Each structure stands twice: as C-alpha cells, then as structure tokens.
Structure 1
C-alpha cells in the first residue's frame, strides 16, 4: 500500500512538472504561431496603397517592435484585452502612435516569448518600432515596479501625469511583476532618439534581425 501511494505521489509530481513546462514553453509555441500569422497580415497591409485613415480593429496588427539586446521582435497588435494579447504585445488604443510626441504604451504577458526578460533591459538599450514608413529608435531611460492601479504610467506623460500636452516621444512597456504573478506591474520607459525612413534601410542596431536574414544566410 505504501508503495502504491508513493507511486501515485510520484506520478502526480511528474504531471505537475509537465503542466508547468507547458505553461511556460507551450505558450511560447502558441505565440510563435500567432506571430507568424500576424506578420503575414501586417506585410500584406503595408504592401497595399494607403487608403483613408480608419480605426484599427482590436487584435489587428499595428506595428513591429524590436528589442535587439534581448534578440526579440514581435508584431504589436491594437488593443490590450486578454484576447487581443494572447499571441502579441498590445498597443493601448488611446496612447500615441510610433514616433509621435506622447506615449506609445504597450502591454504584454510575462511569459516566455513575450515580456519574460524585459527586466534585463538597461538604460541606453534600444527599442525600435516599425510602422509603414519608418523605423523609430527609442533608448531605455528607466524602469519601476508599480501597483496595478497606476494607470498614469500609460498616460501621455508618465513623468508628469497632469500634463495633457507632452513634449517627449516615449515608449512604455508594461507587464506583470514578479514572474508568474500579477500582483504588481513592471514598467520600462524609453525615449525617442531617432527616426529613419525605410528607404534608408534598417537601423544598424536591428540589421541582424531582418525577417529574411536567416533565409539569405541559409
């Protein structure tokens, strides 16, 4: 009887380990698949002649973001609901556009393949946003941990919450803190340092991350 109980306990432990592994790494597989579909849709969208401006649909591809120091890049979607950000970081709908004065605020899960390692970002590290026409390079200027009710961090000027006429162009990344918990929020701030038209090629900081680089080298 004791042996049977021990075997059951061991089996239960192995099941829990497998579930934990799937929770961490299985989700990354889902993210990778979702990102492939979003990237295809974004490329098709940008290849078309620009038409009248329209409000993006929730969950639709919005921009690309590159973090070269972490060797990570994503298609960013419009919207920050749980459904919107299943497979991608999400752009807060009322925040600025890439390169604009104001705050381009982005939320993502603290999971592998997403914002798992954004705590490793240091001051001066690059975050690059790509829109239809330009690459916008931002440099990390700091981070902080806040409570979930601190909505001012995604406002027009997170350093001056009462200011409705910001003068700086910022990117703000938001995710859960600590890992595997939603008790608090980790916030990373970056400020615009350069805008480069696409006809001048990719910025040097992300040239190695070009979508076709691996195919060309292979």
Structure 2
C-alpha cells in the first residue's frame, strides 16, 4: 500500500515555502537599505566621520585672524596596528591660534607585499577636538603602500582662536590601521609556504 502524500499537498507545501523565502528576501533587501541611514545616524551622533574629513578650507583658514598674544603647545603622537612603522617628524611645536601650520608624519610598510591602511586621529583634551581644524591630512583617505615603501605625509591645520583660554596644550594622536584582512594575509603566508614546499619538492636530491 502506497504511503506517499497526495500531489496537492506537495504543491501546497512548495507554495508556502516559496512565499516564506520571498518574504525573507524582501526583509533582507529592506534591511540592506536601512543600514545606510542607520550608519549615517550613528556616525553623526558619535562624530566618527568628522574625524577624517576636512574641517575647514585653506581659504577660510588663511582668512582667520591670528592671535599673536597667545601660544598653544601641540604635541604629536603616533600608533600603528600591524607591521607599520609610523612616527611624527617632530614631537611638538608651539603655534598661535589662527596660524596655518604644516607637520609631517613618516609611515613605512614593513611587509613584503602591498597594503592599504587608514589613519584615525584623536585629540586630548577632548574639548579641543572641535577647535583643531584640519585643512589637509593623510587621514582623509586610505593610503596604499607598496612592499617596504616609506612615505612622508603632511598634516595642515589651524587652531581656532575660540579655543577655551584654559587649554594650553593639545595632543594630536594618530592610530594607523592596516586594512588588509587577516584572512588575506594568512592566505598570502600560506601561499608563500606552499610555493616554498613545492620548490623544495621539485629540487632533485643530491646523490649520496
């Protein structure tokens, strides 16, 4: 005696499953669109995007009145994640509020392959963040470094004369992150080891 379900039951089950899959696909599609405004809202609240965007144009900065009666000490710090050499060419300097200033950072790729990296700035004290105006900065874009390449990269900035009077020192700190994924790096390393093993196997053994 046959125990197979009727064909109508199969069609009903298939139709129900198709509807469910369509609903899931539509929800995922809608969620993908929702991520963009969600991301923008979070960045706007936290101020993350503002850290890697131009704060003021060069023309606006040069039109700013320089306060020659006040001096601010700017200290420079550098941190790196991954096999990157990264440091400022000078550790500190004194500037007048409203004065356009350029400093240089050196970054080097210590890997034997090209990498992409992104620098993120931070400031201390925290209240100085909105008064430290970057005109040009290597942190505005991702940086590509060839194998064993070294770059000199400028930061052009101006300190807003509206900086609170009790702030005498500002520390500008950058953290440079390698953007190459660990999986990609592992694949490169694995590929190198595999090539080395293959070459070794292909080398004929010397007679005893």
TM-score normalised by L of structure 2:
0.26
Mark the structure with the bigger radius of gyration. 2
Q: TM-score, normalised by structure 1?
A: 0.26
